Structure 1
Amino acid sequence: MDSLITAAARALAAGDPLGALNLVALCDDAPALALRGISMAQLGDFASAKRLLRRAARAFGPKDAMARARCIVAEAEIALVSRDLSGSARALDAARATLEAHGDRINAAHARHLEARRLLLMGRFDEAELAIGELDPAPFPPALKIAYELVVMGIATRRLRTQAARAALARAEHAARSADIPALTAEVESARRVLDTPAARLVAHGEERFLLLDEVEALLASETLVVDACRHSVRSADRSVSLSGRPVLFALARLLGEAWPDDVPREELIAQAFRTVYADESHRARLRVEIGRLRSALTPLADVRATKRGYALVPRHAPEVVVLARPFEEKHAAVLALLADGEPWSSSALALALDTSQRTVQRALDSLAEEGKVQAYGRGRSRRWLTPPLPGFTTTLLLPAFLPGD
């Protein structure tokens, strides 16, 4: 039996879940149940994987604390991949502490890495960076090195540290060559496409062009005054004014930024910012009030001057003004951005990641489903949403093998 368990664990480590199942499919002892659970997870049957791992944890019993902790870590990864972000991190943290106490540093590091991935998905970049910063990847096996470097790349990408992101990607590619597992290689290749795909759209002087991530980083570090439609702010290299909670002010700032150095007629500002086709004196009075508020908010960066026909944006120190927008803008873009990772999300997990209500997310998903942009499977609490699959986009679990005697 030990030889079968060892062979199955090595098959999983080599990226062959079917080979592992062939060896332990009929075995019901605790190690075999754990390996079967991991195999089913790698094959995408998360429900069966959870059941098998929970059976394995019960079969190991309280005396085999390290094996039970490994099952908890594996189940935590299944929850992460299936985008169940609502669970408590206490169980995972306790499992990590148990693994560290028993000297299983690789799986303990994997548990910390899972927590960093969860924090990254929830937009808590500082906490994710702190969690991943406590790890030393030098002793990691190639598969875990890939996972580690992709988290480092994800944090660097979101912080617009393109050089650091490319360095992490290069290390992940090197580890992928050592691992020689096709699914992991595909994972790294999909990460590379993030850096080689347009990240934003630049609007200036009536023209538009796409920007890669490193071009966005260079733009935000320059002296240019940027009306940032990705973060709803106006910024220069050393100062930023957030308008994220003030949609009318941001709409006015964007209209003025797109027209710079020209002015924008009052009628156009009223129609676009207030979303009305009829402008009367009350709208003009409201426009004067909102322009005054915008002028006050942008005082450190720019002035808003009245012209004969409307208003114009005048930067105080910047040589020019541009607008930075998403590559493709549409309603519910934030929901689509999360679903673009190719993984199935629950509406509750999307609400948690977007820091909004589940009902708001559900309405957005229903609207996108009617347009054929997202699709769902399952019912009730098991219902999951994802975008239609893209050719060549592969994701994989990076579950450590359960080698007996480790």
Structure 2
Amino acid sequence: MAALLLPSPDHTCTRLLLNEPAQLDVRSTPPASRAVYAAAHVVADPVRACTADLGDAIDWDATAQLRHDLWSLGLGVAESMDTAQRGMGLDWAAAKKLALRTLDEARSVGGQVVVGVGTDQLDNPRPSIEEIRDAYIEQIDAIESAGGNVVLMASRDLARAATGPDDYLAVYSDVLDSASRPVVLHWLGSMFDPALTGYWGFTEPHAAMDTVVQIITEHLPAVRGIKVSLLDPELEIALRIRLPEPARIFTGDDFNYVDLIAGDGTRSSDALLGAFAAIAPYASAAFARLDLGDEQGFRDILGPTEALSRIVFAPPTQYYKVGVAWLAYLNGKQSHFRMIGGFETGRCLEHLAELIRAGDAIGLFPDPDLTAARATAYFAVHGLT
């Protein structure tokens, strides 16, 4: 069996004998019981990962293959969002190119896609409310014109410019009126992006919830739902209760997704999760059980993955993308462990080792020999033998 040495907090190395991979009954058709999207990451071109032209920094073929892998497991793809280093290495020009390529790839296999849009094409550090509105509308038009559905991501520009909830109400009203298809809103907590502190006009989330509910209620035909990434299940459940039908919560809670998706017998959440990019086969197998009405089977498969996800999304949470790329590398989904802009340096070797231990505990690695060889080589380059 495959074994490797992993760095420990005391600067020694401990030997880990990798487990056999989990045997999962996956399926290729989308779940019927919930809408499910995995927020996919981008594979960098290892030679050009830090180039100024971000479009040249992407390995397009490897990035497309990641999306085909998700579709083959019945999962939808959430494209050009924060998991794809949007705003943290990927600008609008590169994100748009990525989105249009993914929409083309999806049509070839009938894959489901939603695309993140924002205001990150603005080069004015202090844009007006009107400029922010127009930037949103420009991006929506670019994606809808290509046949795509959008996730209206939270805007750092709006967080800086807004003086209170009325500014959010005004911007979102005009933007939603411009959309030709129902959109998914996005409430991204400050743990994912500190620049979004005070979004919706309040730092207190229950007060902010009032703004969210008002926007959705007043524009219900234009709103498919809202992705909630607050890592607070009680807040998500409180919003779920207040949400007018037929709008849905798309959980983005990478700590507590099992209970939130399973629901309480009356209400449940759909899923739009970065975690599912790392544990896609488990999600596929779990939703197959849920579609059969086997909630316990769903929990038995997906429940153990939350321990790994909590490590991937540990503070500082914005570096969770490193864990997603690292696990993809160890699973043979990409040929290297480089990220756009050198983002992989955001996590230490101890953290990478912890991910291996947690992944191994659930049988995440389909080829343990490959995983051991790649991890050993990577740690050796950093002086660990």
Task: Say yes or no: TM over 0.5.
Answer: no
TM-score normalized with structure 1 length? 0.29
Structure number having the greater helix percentage: 1
Q: Larger C-alpha radius of gyration, 1 or 2?
A: 1
TM-score normalized with structure 2 length? 0.30
Higher RCO (C-alpha under 8 Å, 6+ residues apart): 2
